[in-house]
């Protein structure tokens, strides 16, 4: 007797076929307050500032590591541009 070919009593098509109907929200409630909108500029400024601060902090400790980080960032930007074009 093959277990894989047996029908399961839990495989009820009526139970699995039920769907929940969604009712659309009114236009005033469709905006989610947890989603930040219009903050892209501030985010980019913060990320850029943080990157400069990290490079400066590492540069104080070791010049070779700073050059390695700058090279990695430069190479990453080139690769990102190449992959976006392809």
Q: Note down pLDDT in tens along the chain; length 86 residues.
A: 555 555 555 555 555 556 676 666 666 556 777 776 777 888 888 888 998 888 888 888 888 888 888 899 899 999 999 999 88
Note the pLDDT of residue 65. 84
Positive or negative CA dihedral for 42, 47, 53, 55? negative
CA 83 to chain centre: 18
Global confidence as pTM? 0.42
């Amino acid at each position: 007797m093959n277990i894989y070919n047996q029908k399961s009593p839990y495989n009820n098509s009526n139970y699995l076929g039920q769907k929940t109907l969604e009712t659309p929200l009114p236009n005033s409630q469709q905006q989610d307050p947890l989603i930040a909108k219009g903050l892209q500029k501030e985010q980019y400024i913060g990320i850029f500032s943080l990157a400069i601060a990290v490079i400066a902090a590492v540069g104080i400790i070791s010049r070779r590591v700073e050059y390695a980080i700058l090279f990695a960032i430069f190479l990453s930007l080139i690769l990102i541009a190449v992959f976006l074009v392809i």
